[in-house]
Amino acid sequence: MDSNAAVIEFEQVSYRVAGKLVLDDFSLRVMPGETLVLLGRSGSGKTTALRLVNGLISPTSGVVRVLGRPVAEWNLIELRRSIGYVIQSGGLFPHLTAGDNIALGPKLAGRTCDVDGLLDRVGLPAAEFRGRRPLQLSGGERQRVSVARALASDPPLLLLDEPFSALDPITRFELQQEFVRWRTPMGKTAVFVTHDLTEALRVGTRIGVMADGALESCVPTGDFKRFAGVEGRRFLEAFGATL
């Protein structure tokens, strides 16, 4: 495989903060069109890996490349505008309506977007939700708006940090199906962080299991049960009842 073909490439990346090694010799390549799920417990370094991709933090050692170019060499504004990022807690601006939150990214780049269409895609009727402020939304509705916001600039790359975690199981299932339905025709490459194995198996094309800041294994979703490592087996065990 040509190394330039990877959309994201982590090469022996370590990240240390306050003396603690959060990522340890982490290497991984994310290929075009795939949805790579990073599965791990809380504190395993999943979110840190995402934040390295859009330059919110810089690696202590090693290199992170996006489209073959080290993040450090990118114009960060330009890089971030080409990445849709869903923050764990939503990160919606409380002083703006749902519609304005969604439209802000494209607006900064001097473009417009179809706010109503985006709200529809995440299952929120535009007429009802466009004008609501985040505090007038439920946790699940906020996460949907965050996903719509990440899609607003039509970025080729999506980073999703537990985007559906605050949802009830049925809504979560619906949104996972929704996500799988549109990500392929839209040709998006995505890194999807979760600690839910069921979710990982539903949305991922490949699953990377993280433990203590290191990548334990990374295999196609269909092979996950066969090739699971120690941490992967723990996940299988923990989710045994629901799988």
Partner 1 sequence: MLRLSGQHLRLTLLAMVLAVAIGVPLAVWLHRQERWRGPVLMVVNILQTVPSLALFGFLIPVLGIGPVSAVFALVAYALLPVVRGTLTGLMTVDPTLLESGDALGMTDRERLRWVELPLAAPQILNGIRVATVATVGTATIAAAIGAGGLGELIFRGVATVDSRQILAGACPAAALALALDGGFAWLERSFFRR
Binding-site ranges for partner 1 (CB under 8 A): 54, 56, 76-81, 83, 85, 87, 89, 91-95, 104-105, 108-109, 133, 135
Task: Closer to partner 1 by CB, 38 or 92: give it.
Answer: 92
Tokens of 184: 């392929």
Neighbouring CB atoms inside 10 A of 196's CB total: 19
Q: Could you give phi then psi for residue 74, rounded to 5 degrees?
A: -75, 150
Task: Closer to partner 1 by CB, 44 or 97: give it.
Answer: 97
Query: Measured at the alpha carbon of residue 32, what is the angle toward residues 29 and 38, in degrees to the nearest 5?
Result: 50
Residue 7 CA to its chain's centroid (Å): 14
The span from the CA of 195 to the CA of 146, in Å, is 19
Of 216, 165, 217, 171, nearest to 192 by C-alpha is 165
Which residue type occupies 3? S
Neighbouring CB atoms inside 10 A of 153's CB total: 21
What 3-state class would DSSP assign to 50?
helix
- Shortest spacing between CB 108 and partner 1, in angstroms: 6
Task: Closer to partner 1 by CB, 83 or 118: give it.
Answer: 83
- Shortest spacing between CB 179 and partner 1, in angstroms: 19
Task: Closer to partner 1 by CB, 89 or 165: give it.
Answer: 89
- Shortest spacing between CB 76 and partner 1, in angstroms: 8
Task: Closer to partner 1 by CB, 83 or 193: give it.
Answer: 83
- Shortest spacing between CB 209 and partner 1, in angstroms: 25
Residue 58 CA to its chain's centroid (Å): 18
Task: Closer to partner 1 by CB, 76 or 238: give it.
Answer: 76
- Shortest spacing between CB 114 and partner 1, in angstroms: 18
- Shortest spacing between CB 87 and partner 1, in angstroms: 6
